[in-house]
Amino acid sequence: MKRIFTISGLVLLCFLFVNAAFAQDITVKGKVTDASTGETLIGVSVVLKGTTTGTQTDVNGAFVLNAPSNATIRFSYIGYATQEVAVNGQSNLDIRLQPSANELAQVVVVGYGTQRKLDVTGSVATVKGSDISKQSSTNAISALQGKVSGLQVTNSGSPGASPQVTIRGLGTIYGNTGVLYVVDGVWYSDISFLNPSDIDNISVLKDASSTSIYGLRAANGVILVTTKKGKKGTVTVNYDGYAGWQTVTNPVKMANATQYATLINELYNVNNTTPLLFSDPSKFGTGTDWYGQILRDAFKMNHNISINGGTDKSTYNFSLGYLDQDGLVKNNNYKRYTARFANDYTPIKNLKLGYVVGGLFSQSRDADGGIFHQLYGAAPVVPVYYADGSYGDPSDFNLGGGNNYNPQATLDFYNHNSKNYDFTGNAYAELKFLQHFTFKTTFGGEIGQAESTGYSPVYKATLAQQSTTSTLSIGRSDTRNWIAENTLTYDNTFGDHKVTVLAGQTAQRYKSYFINATALNVPNSSEGDHYLSLGDVAGRNVSDGGSLTTAVSYFGRVNYSFKDKYLLNASLRADAGSQFYGSHLWAYLPSVGAGWVISNEDFMKDQNFFSSLKLRGSWGKVGNAGVPINPTTLVVSQDPSYTAIFGADQTAHTGASVVSVVPPAILVERGVGTDIGLEGSVLNDQLSFEADFYNRTTENAIFAIPILASVGTASGTIIGNQANIRNRGFEFSATYRSHSSGDFNYSVGGNFTINNNKVTQVTSGKNPIYAGGNGIANGALATRTVVGEPIGEFYGYKVAGIFQNQSEITGSAQPNARPGDFKYQDMNGDNIIDGKDRVDLGNPNPKYTYGINTSFNYKNFDLLLDFQGVAGVSVYNANTAFRYGNENFTEDFFNNRWHGDGTSNTYPSAAVGSTANAAPNSFYVESGAYFRIRTAQLGYTLPTSILSKWKMQKVRLFANAENPLNVFKYKGFSPEVGGSPTNAGIDANVYPLSATYTFGVNVTF
Amino acid sequence: MKNRKTYLQRALGISLFVSLILSQSCKKSFLDVPPQATPPAITFWKTASDADKGVNAAYADMHEWTNVAFAPIALESMGSDEAEKGSSPDDASFMNDFDTFTATSTEGQISDFWAGKYKLINLCNQVIDNVPGISMDANLKARYIAEVKFIRAYAYFRLVRAFGDVPLRLHLPKDASEYNIPRTPKAEVWAAIEADLNDAAAVLPQSYDAANLGRITKGAALAMHAKVDMYQKKWTDVLALTNQVMTMGYSLVPNFEKEFREENENSSESVFEIQCAYVDGNSAASNSQYSQVQGVRGVTGGGWGFNVPTQALADAFEPGDPRREGTIIFRGTTTAEGDPIPAVGDNPMYNYKSYVPFSHYHSGYNEGCQQNIRVIRYAEVLLMNAEAANETGNAAQAIASLEQVRARARGGNNAILPKVTTTDQSALRLAIWHERQVELAMEFDRYFDVIRQGRGAEIFGPKGWKANKNEVWPIPQNEIDLSAGKLTQNPGY
């Protein structure tokens, strides 16, 4: 503590005399443009070499800098090659920067700072904000899909939902496997509050040496987001907007009414149920197309406006965003309003103060989450409405219990609205002193509130869809997070030696709270009635919960380079998280990295094949705080289900007890990563490439594993350090950019990742960890995690064929089977089919992910085509057998099913939902590989001649298509399934895949 | 210069602010965050209120899913000749594996049944190990412990009946080394059950005040003990225990069908009854699915239609026995409470004893969540008394006790259910067994009752029951795997 006080004091002292320390020289003016397009570049860093003195170009690309007449000025800009120009007494310098041709010359954002890509010894990928906002994704991270090697993005399809992101494979099992997002220095676990068009750039930190500086939160990788800041110059106004629609693509065709009735009759035959349900299936014709009835082409529009400007003393960027998106389900709608304001002051030389605040308000009219499964099961023989206008009722067709509803009634009587308020931001002060020191202090955080209101009325639609009481449900949840950080940086060059030293300290607090309440029979004449107190006194219900974690950290890093040839980086972070209080509190997480810039060696001078070439290697440790809170503290459970009933009037009596066991101690879950990379460019910087081999292990992974049920815990599990996991892989990316000065320019980039996920050790010894029960009947579990195999591998029986007749069954290993049932392979040959015959059926963790990103410019036209895909992955199609009774089937099932001796040896009979047939088996495991056109966009920029008349800087019109083409073999809706680690890839939610088509405009005044 | 001063002040302010945060964060208390919404266990088991809560949790857990719904249907009912799966053919068709004795050790219901009982045993052991240390009213403390000892005995009774030898946990595991314990020979488990019931009977009162109605009574402990002894063929003890219960003021409710309706909860016939209720605004507390899973399928307020009576049961009743219509809901009829049962439906018959009139259904709650579960009725005490008297050579008492049950069933109609008069021990035994079949039908008694009688092969043989195997179900495979082989499998599985 004392030391930090001393440092603070020092900061103040230095502050005084640094101001007086500068002499004035000549004034250099100039303009910076893009060498290939001639566009002016705004915000280019213009710095005197070997100092921290500098400025940025304004909105016209212009800069003014006082410099010694013999100085060298360095121009650097993200996405462009850095240029150094000797002043030589010139007072006017016009600079043309080459677009990020030389990868190594780029400036990239890294943890707690920026570095030239040349100096980076870890694996860091950068994406420009414009590459993200160009797409019609409402979530910035969705737009990263296919853009970065090693980054796997799984979009669930539901509007407003955040995608699942993994960097270099799945390294943890418990709970949140998400990456850490650092937005302008503030830490978040989700950035759906951020409007993609507010993003200036994104850095994806992939290897442990890059992420290690984020310590306990870095286990699953770190994504740094820098939002747009103000730029010096005259006021610029930008407007971006688009409108279009979203439409279901690659739908699964369900059986029509006649096919359905035929199948149900077959089901009755197999079950020996008489009489058959439908005397004449053909009389139903094609029946109701439930998907067509409930889904629609959904409208979507988005408007963003931003104002940017500033002076020498202060800059600002103010933006407003509005998104209005309909869901694919009728009535579903999402509106988002965002505002963001960034303001930076330079009150006196060497002192910078600033803040960024962002606000979000969203409101949505929600869709019933259960409706997709209802649509899948809904019987096509049931009409939407009868002739008299009343709802078609499955019970009138004797369809029995189970999942058989009229989805139209579900839609009509579902009334649920949500609102979100979210304020995020940070403030900072940065002081440069003694020429080489920078002290920065920041404070940031998030204040969020989510509200939901649901009203379920008194209604009678069908026998199974009715209620005699109405229910009002109100929910509130709060988020209050803050982070305070102080860093001190020392940056100096001694001849050929360049050194940067960073020391820092952080304190963080994360608190969340929710409360949900319901009351019965609240009137509903207007929203003004939506108060619990207007409902019945009896039957009110309240529940709440929350979480609180804190963390304290200290960290330091040294970057050293010699002659821009030899690089050495090392860091150490000490983290204490309240999760581990009372256990092993402090985690010390070190990293080292080294690099060799081969192209700067003398022996490379005479070759002109490689424009740049660097070999680098790194090693680091990270931790995972995404673990259960206080895992070693035994707690009391006062679950409402422990309420006892006593007395003649049956009154409720609160119960509570201890229903868990905890480990005596727990170690921090650590990730250890090694990375070896080669990067460079050839063909005069036109073709750049980067290749990485990585090995990433997770030690002491913390999660719950089953414990003997006789111990009597409620969860049946115990938390502990259970396993070691390894992800090993190879990444390659390359980009070709034409350097033509003509009318036609293009770039073609590709990236490719191979990842192998493997469990290398489990504490439970040989005992596998079974999971994956969602959408699977009879408590059967479809995944297994075991040493030597990937996390959550599908596990079950291997289908050898279909029993064609009784004689095949008699004497077989499945004597109770019926013709049309799966014939399972008797793996151990004991002539009994039981749990011992189960085998590995497929890996839900993709082995290959890839993306191809291209752009073409011809005169004023531009075309963007992005492709993306995964391969070497399996999906478990749980929908097929997730049946309670007479639900519908797919048309594919109808066409291929067994319905008599010799009709099929691959598909079972209509009794596919029986326990024997629904047991996890190879029939349900399908390839999850897909390839898609992720984005296709055609733009036209109005010629300058017209624009100058209109006094506008830029007008661009474009048409965009997202997911217009998807190629996959999977028989469900979408092979992009996701799910928690040991439950991943099990498709039981049936959310349809959609394509989005939009038309829009970008305008700059 | 003036400006500079302001900036200096600002910078100073920031520095101070930073230092404040630093000093804040360095405090140990900043990191010492208590568990949220789940108090640490070390703060519990300190007061009488904690003891009360702990006992309540054990009571409540008796009507949890694995203790009253699918798992008991699978293990305690499907094997019998009185019930079959019901519902739609493909819904939970694994139930059929219990009906046909093809269930294997990996069946989910087997592990659910096992886990449910041990979870209940843990809740009892929490009280038994922790409450003695609480300073509180000594009588109340003793009663609390006696109540949960009964509940623990009841859980072990169901375990030993279903699995034979089982791990016997009479205390909480002290540490991880006590998690994995082997199966205890069933004789020792039976002895532990009897010890618990003796302890309970010695302390528990014969009745409670109105506010505590529904708690375990001395009569319940004695009757449960009689049943436990009956399974061990300790006939003298059964006779003595039931004789004692018969002096405690119990009586049969005149109308058999009405005994199972809400108005007769905790009636004069009730010896041990699990208390369930519709708790306003608390669906988690209203979690009994006992009636829901067995309710009439396809009707709002009915249920899922599992565990339905078989034709064999319908045929087992003597001509005119009103208990047939009081035990079985027939498709196309109207219940005595006025609910019409659709003539078309998945199943021809449903369990009447678990039935709750459809109009009592509350949207958002389980159908029939308010139905108390009658575990031991006075009628069974009489039948145990009759059987024990017959086995110990006292035919007259056997006939008298049996007749009390038949007389109630008769309801004054002397044209039906003639008095059993035979004094031939084996004929009388069969008559008593038959009476148990029809009197206790659909009350989850029949399956193990027949096995206890030694007639498993005779009665269930035709549907696959085999002696020396099917007396017990397999030990859950998960549990054997987790024990790394310390637990052994039952023969034949």
Give which of A410, A442, A409 is closest to A428, Cα–Cα: A442
Tell me the mean pLDDT in the region A923-940.
95
Cβ atoms A883, A260 nearer than 8 A: no
Whether residue A69 has pLDDT greater than 50:
yes
pLDDT of residue A740: 67
Say yes or no to pLDDT of B13 above 70.
no
Pairing type for strands A314-326 and A861-871 reads unpaired
Which region, left, alpha or beta, applies to residue A150 given φ > 0 means left and ψ of -120 to 50 means alpha? Answer: left
**Helices within A164-308 (DSSP H only):** 208-211, 257-270, 290-294
What does the pLDDT average to over A252-279? 91
Q: Which residues of chain A from 877 to 916 reach within 8 Å of chain B, CB to CB?
A: 883-886, 911, 913-916
Please state the rounded mean pLDDT for residues B198-216.
97
Assess whether pLDDT exceeds 80 at residue A6: no
Distance of CA B34 to the CA centre of its chain: 37
B343 touching A (Cβ < 8 Å) = no
Give pLDDT, residue A22. Answer: 42
pLDDT attached to residue A444: 95
Pairing of strands A199-205, A222-227: antiparallel
- Beta carbons within 8 Å of B13's beta carbon, 6+ residues apart: none
Lowest mean pLDDT, pick from A10-19, A20-29, A506-515, B128-137? A10-19
**How much is the average pLDDT of A121-131?**
90
Per-residue pLDDT, A462: 87
Examine the pLDDT at A641 and tell me if it is beyond 70.
yes
3-class DSSP state of B38: coil
Put simply, the answer to whether A709 touches B344 (Cβ < 8 Å) is: no
- Residue-averaged pLDDT of chain B: 92
Distance, in angstroms, between B396 CA and closest chain A CA?
A: 38
pLDDT at A835 over 90: no
pLDDT value at position A8? 43
Contact between chains at A708 and B346 (C-beta distance less than 8 A): no
Burial class of residue A649 in the structure, from the number of CB atoms within 10 Å of its CB (0-12 exposed, 13-18 middle, 19+ buried)? exposed
Residue B485 at interface with chain A, using a CB cutoff of 8 Å = no
Of the candidates B35, B180, B214, which has its C-beta nearest A708's C-beta? B180
DSSP string, A3-57: HHHHHHHHHHHHHHHHTT-----EEEEEEEEETTT--B-SS-EEEETTSS-EEE-
Say if strands A83-86 and A72-76 run parallel, antiparallel, or are unpaired: antiparallel
CB of A470 closer than 8 Å to CB of A522: yes
CB contacts under 8 A, A 534-573 vs B, are 538-541, 544-552
Instruction: Answer yes or no: is pLDDT of A210 > 50.
Output: yes
What span, in angstroms and rounded, lies between the C-alpha atoms of A462 and B363? Answer: 14
pLDDT score recorded for residue A15: 38
Confidence of residue B471 (pLDDT cuts 50, 70, 90): very high
pLDDT at A160: 64
Amino acid occupying residue A692 = D
What ipTM was assigned to the predicted interfaces of this complex?
Answer: 0.92
Closest CA to B434 of B408, B412, B459: B459
Mean pLDDT within B459-482: 93
Entry pTM? 0.84
Min CA distance, B367 vs chain A (Å)?
A: 13
Q: What is the rounded CA–CA span in Å between residue B186 and residue B160?
A: 7
The residue among A313, A711, A769 with the most chain B CBs within 10 A of its CB, best to mutate, is A711
Q: List the single range of A35-39, A47-51, A782-786, B20-24 with lowest mean pLDDT.
A: B20-24
Q: How far apart are CA A189 and CA A169, in angstroms?
A: 18
- The shortest C-alpha distance from B133 to chain A (Å) reads 15
Q: Which positions 62-101 of B are in contact with A (Cβ < 8 Å)?
A: 64, 87-94, 96-97, 100
Q: What is the distance in angstroms between the Cα of A139 and the nearest Cα belonging to chain B?
A: 31
pLDDT at residue A106 in the model? 77
A235-244, A698-707, A932-941, B441-450: which range is least confident on average?
Answer: A698-707
* Token duo for residue A854: 């291209």
* Mean pLDDT score, B387-414: 96
Closest C-alpha to A530, from A640, A606, A427, A454: A454
**In this structure, what DSSP letter does residue B473 have?**
P
The strand order across the sheet containing A83-86 reads A54-56, A45-48, A72-76, A83-86
The per-residue pLDDT of chain A, averaged, comes to 88
Contacts of B484 in chain A (CB under 8 A): 765-767
Q: Which two tokens stand for residue B290?
A: 């006992």
Q: How open is the CA angle A647-A650-A654, to the nearest 5 degrees?
A: 90
**Which of B1, B15, B479 is best to mutate for the A interface (most A CBs within 10 A)?**
B15
B271 and B250 Cβ atoms separated by less than 8 Å: yes
pLDDT reading at A1 higher than 50? no
How distant is the Cα of A177 from the closest Cα of chain B, in angstroms?
Answer: 22
**pLDDT higher for B55 or B3?**
B55
Q: Name the DSSP letter for residue A612.
A: E
What does the pLDDT read at residue A21? Answer: 38
Which residues from chain A sit within 8 angstroms of residue B283, using beta carbons?
541
Classify residue B24 by its DSSP letter: H
Alpha-carbon A719 to chain mean position: 26
> Which residues 509-528 of A are in CB contact (within 8 Å) with B?
518
The answer to whether residue B1 scores a pLDDT higher than 50 is no
Q: What are the tens digits of pLDDT across the range A941-999?
A: 998 888 888 888 889 999 999 999 999 999 998 999 888 888 889 998 767 889 999 99
Apex A992 CA angle, A987 and A996, nearest 5: 140
Question: What pLDDT was estimated at residue A391?
Answer: 95
Give the pLDDT of residue A103.
63
**Is the pLDDT at A271 greater than 80, yes or no?**
yes
Reply yes or no on whether the pLDDT at B23 is more than 80: no
Neighbours of A533 (CB within 10 A): 8
Helix (H), strand (E) at residue B283: none
